[in-house]
Structure 1
Amino acid sequence: MNTHPFWKLAALTLSLSAPAALASEWRDEGNLRRDDVESEEEREQSAEDRGFNLGLRVGYGLPVGNAVGAPDGGEAGKLSDAVSGVIPLQLDVGYSFNSNLALGAYFQYGLGMLAEDCVDGADCSVRQLRFGVNLTYHFLPGAKLRPWLGLGVGYEKLNVTASASEAGESIDITTSIHGFEFASVQGGLDYRINERFSVGPYLMVTAAMYSTTSISVDSSIDSPIFDEMEESEGIDDKAVHLWPMAGVRMQFHF
């Protein structure tokens, strides 16, 4: 039996399959090398982004919902009937575990506006305090534009103060309402100016429920009517209110 043609056929088959196998091996090795490079770049970027952050936000917020619920036979107290808006100044302090995830604390001091004019002869002011913790997730590590989402919980306090003075006598009356802020949903877009500093717009909606109200009187008038006092009581008819806010966030990475 002459096997010569079969040897030729086997050699031809090997010669045709060898380049394809080499090309496949080259592609696999190339992909591995490329994956190794990308993984190394991601690890280096995560190491660079790890550390403490200091942020500052400024914006504008609107009240939505009721400060208190409706008692039997009564009407609910709308928050917008007392306050028309607030300018929040918020300080953020946090730690980035990697390029994506960060955990931190916040403190906000808001300058509010009354919905109606203050009484004649008096000066009125509105102050909002918020503090708590935030968890944020950043997308696109290393990119110039980085979208992010966040979720927080905390506590909110709203103060309305009326002050008046005449003939060397003065009186300050402060009414406060405060309670647990069970959610603040937020998101934004950071523009990374350099490795340390970023700035961009943000949106946030907070949801809270006031549980306590208090009143304090500080007076220099020598009269039983205007004695100094400080009282607080729980709110029986609670209601959920929202603060949609928008503004600009600046962040410095140490």
Structure 2
Amino acid sequence: GSAPHVMTLGYDAPSIEDPAYDAHPVKEPAGGAPPAARGVQMAVRSGYAIPMGDATGAGADELSRSFRGQVPVLIEVGAKSGDSFFFGLYAGLGFGGAGSAADASCSSSGLSCDAQTFRLGPEVQVHLNPAGKVNPWLGYGVGLEISTVSMRGPGGSASMSLMGVELAHLMAGVDFRLSSALGAGPVLDLSLAQYSSMTMEMNGFEVPGASGQIAETAIHAWLSLGARLVLFP
């Protein structure tokens, strides 16, 4: 007639009917932001870039005499190692007009002219708030830069290309992390480079004696402001 012995766990177990009890708790990220991304990340950006400094060390050879402002399209592909660091490659192509002196020469010769700048190199970024909805970041890269003025007319085509090392590609931006798959935001970009060689071509063939190493080099820059779209921010 004695009551059956009941084994207890030594504490008051919560009832599954208790609204405060959740058998499968899910931790929501602060502010509703998606979790910090890791692994593959890609981005594409564009804006407007202005030329600064000198193309060469020769007198009165400002970069703006050969190149006007350009609209760059730059792609970044890489991966995040941990939450904060991104390692990858960037490749970009800028489109614009010939600078003041080049444009005047083209006009007097009855030619149509435009200009392009290609750049390629590795980069690293550090993300300051990788799990937040608003994620500021800083970046640095080095690489190759080739800027070309192209000329076309009834007699054929010609081009003048300057090639050198991009000594410092400095980047700063803010990603607004809209979801785990998509982000967007503004970006400021400063490229410091030095041209070391020049190539002249006429109708696709190099002009003898007009190409070679630049004897007097100088530092130039491209400063751009734009926006970028990020996959897996």
TM over 0.5: yes
Structure 2 residue 97 is the aligned partner of structure 1 residue 113: yes
Q: Which residue of 1 aligns with 2:194?
A: 209
Deviations 1:201-222 (A, max 9, x none): 0001111000000101117xxx
Q: Which residue of 2 aligns with 1:23?
A: none
Q: Which residue of 2 aligns with 1:31?
A: none
Structure 2 residue 182 is the aligned partner of structure 1 residue 197: yes
Aligned-residue offset at 1:121: 2.9
Q: Which residue of 1 aligns with 2:47?
A: 59
SS in 1 for 2:83: coil
SS in 2 for 1:185: strand
Deviations 1:10-39 (A, max 9, x none): xxxxxxxxxxxxxxxxxxxxxxxxxxxxxx
In the aligned structure 2, how far is the partner of 1:241 from the partner of 1:48? 37
Aligned-residue offset at 1:148: 0.2
Q: 1:130 is matched with which residue: 106, 119, 127?
A: 119
In the aligned structure 2, how far is the partner of 1:47 from the partner of 1:230? 56
**Unaligned segments of structure 2, at least 5 residues:** 1-28
Deviations 1:169-224 (A, max 9, x none): x41101000100110111000000101110000001111000000101117xxxxx
Question: Residues 1-254 of structure 1 correspond to what in structure 2 (within 5 A)?
Answer: 49-70=37-58, 75-116=59-100, 117=103, 118-119=106-107, 120-165=109-154, 170-218=155-203, 228-231=205-208, 232-253=211-232
Aligned-residue offset at 1:122: 1.8
Query: Across the two proteins, how many residue pairs are aligned to each other?
Result: 196
The alpha-carbon distance between structure 1 residues 179 and 160, as it changes in their structure 2 partners (threshold 3 A), is same
Aligned-residue offset at 1:46: 11
RMSD: 2.1
Aligned-residue offset at 1:83: 1.4
Preserved CA contact (<8 Å) 1:46 1:99: no
Preserved CA contact (<8 Å) 2:115 2:150: yes
Aligned-residue offset at 1:139: 1.1
In the aligned structure 2, how far is the partner of 1:218 from the partner of 1:90? 29
**If you compute each CA radius of gyration, which structure gives the higher value, 1 or 2?**
1
In the aligned structure 2, how far is the partner of 1:80 from the partner of 1:121? 21
Aligned-residue offset at 1:149: 0.3
Preserved CA contact (<8 Å) 2:97 2:113: no
Q: Which has the higher helix share?
A: 1
The alpha-carbon distance between structure 1 residues 229 and 209, as it changes in their structure 2 partners (threshold 3 A), is closer
SS in 2 for 1:121: coil
In the aligned structure 1, how far is the partner of 2:139 from the partner of 2:48? 18
AA aligned opposite 1:160: V
**Unaligned segments of structure 1, at least 5 residues:** 1-40, 220-227
In the aligned structure 1, how far is the partner of 2:97 from the partner of 2:225? 17
